[in-house]
Amino acid sequence: MELEKNMYARYKYHCKQKIGKIYSVNLSKDIFMTDNLVILSNEDVVKVSDILKASYNLIDLIKIGDYVNGSPVCHISEDGDGRIWLYTGNNYIYGFLESEIEDIVTKEQFDIEKYLVRYDV
Round to whole Å and give the CA distance between 110 and 66: 8
| Partners of 28 in beta bridges | none
Strand segments, DSSP code E, in the chain are 8-13, 16-26, 37-40, 45-47, 51-55, 67-68, 71-72, 75-78, 83-87, 93-97, 104-105
Determine the pLDDT at residue 56. Answer: 93
Domain residue spans of the chain: 8-56, 61-113
Distance of CA 98 to the CA centre of its chain: 13
**Phi, psi angle pair for 101, to nearest 5°:** -75, 120
Determine the pLDDT at residue 88. Answer: 59
Q: pLDDT 10s per residue in the chain (121 long)?
A: 688 889 999 999 888 899 999 998 876 655 455 567 888 887 888 888 899 999 998 888 998 888 888 888 877 777 777 667 766 556 656 677 778 888 888 998 888 877 778 887 6
Q: What angle do CA 91, 59, 2 make, to 5 degrees?
A: 155
Q: State the pTM of this model.
A: 0.75
Helices (H), 1-121: 107-113
Provide the pairing of β-strand 37-40 with 45-47. antiparallel
Determine the pLDDT at residue 28. Answer: 62
Name the fold adopted by 61-113: SH3 type barrels. (2.30.30)
Determine the pLDDT at residue 51. Answer: 92
**Phi, psi angle pair for 10, to nearest 5°:** -100, 125
